[in-house]
Amino acid sequence: MRSTEYEAGTTVLVTGAAGFIGCNLVNALLARGSSVVGVDNFNDFYSPAIKRSNVADALQHKAFTLIEADICGRDAMKAALATHKPDTVVHLAAWAGVRPSLERPAVYVRNNVEGTTNLLELARALPKTRVILASSSSVYGSNNAVPFREDMNVDQPISVYAATKRACEIMAHTYHTLYGMDIWCLRFFTCYGPAQRPDLAIHRFTRLIDEGKPITVYGDGSTTRDYLYIDDCVAGVMAAMERCKGFEIINLGEEQTVRLDRLVEMLSQALGKTAKIDRQPVHPGDMLHTRADVTKARKLLGYQPHTMIEEGLKRFIGWYRKKDQS
């Protein structure tokens, strides 16, 4: 899965380059010899200062170009694609999060669905350009049978965010069918690791436990998640970039699940502090269980997830403590 021939001498355009997954991918691409064009609008979904710090190292690299633009802006995105003519577009930019999407559905539809359509429409002017589109395990919605397979019915999303991600997959398939574009949609499961967004559970729980503040836990702690470590996520994305041909939807996860109460226990033990629990009813839109079947990823990508939650949390907390001291 780790070939250097593809990355050396190529140009990759990454939307959402200053976000969690984006900045980790940018750094990996630069380390492997690609020229990278990062696009980000530095919106206030979470602190723009955090996003700018995420790309600070990349900005020191001569092979990195940062474009501050909204993916919904046709002129700016058209200029970016026409100027740099990327071999691959990795489309990560989106308004993320299940719970916030219930409060601002129109914002999610505009940025996720309209923004993705704008990008696909512009990318089709470059017939040799491949598109890797970030989707989400949230599209599995009300499915109760785990592990989740890509051929499952996903017509019953239970959040606006999930609905927008499924709509992006459908639009991607339509562009492939009509225009012959090579597009692969990657369904990320719950990604975590260094530079994780501060609002996501592992980062938020770590910070609150460390500060002695209560953490809100929805439900009785029995919900489970397939936590995908960022290095495995990036490896999967880079393998998809190399092999993208035609249209595919592919899960990226670790194939392991962790109960919510066990996650809190592990974080408490690692921090050496007791978690204070503010227990609330299960939140509308939350899935009870997720787990990826990565058989297809293994076959098409040579994907082999290898970061167990114990090691991943150790690395994350090491990053958190180092960041906190800087």
Catalytic annotation on 161? Answer: yes
Distance CA 222, CA 258 (A): 9
Q: How far apart are CA 27 and CA 54, in angstroms?
A: 10
For every residue of 229-287, DSSP letters joined together read EHHHHHHHHHHHHHH--SEEEEEE--S--EEHHHHHHHHHHHHTSPPEEEEEPPPTT--
- Cα(319)–Cα(215) distance, integer angstroms: 21
Which residue, among 171, 177, 185, 174, has the nearest Cα to 131 in the 3D structure?
A: 185
DSSP string, 33-99: T-EEEEEE---TTS-HHHHHHHTTTGGGSTTEEEEE--TT-HHHHHHHHHHH--SEEEE------HH
Which residues does 286 contact at the CB level (< 8 Å), separation at least 6? 98, 99, 218, 219, 223
Question: What tokens does 150 get?
Answer: 């890509």
If one counts every other C-beta atom within 10 angstroms of the C-beta of residue 169, the result is 20
Q: Which of 6, 108, 140, 161 is catalytic?
A: 161
Cβ neighbours around 280 below 10 Å, total: 10
Name the nearest CA neighbour of 253 among 159, 161, 148.
148
CA quadruple 241, 129, 113, 23: dihedral positive or negative? positive
Active site residues: 161
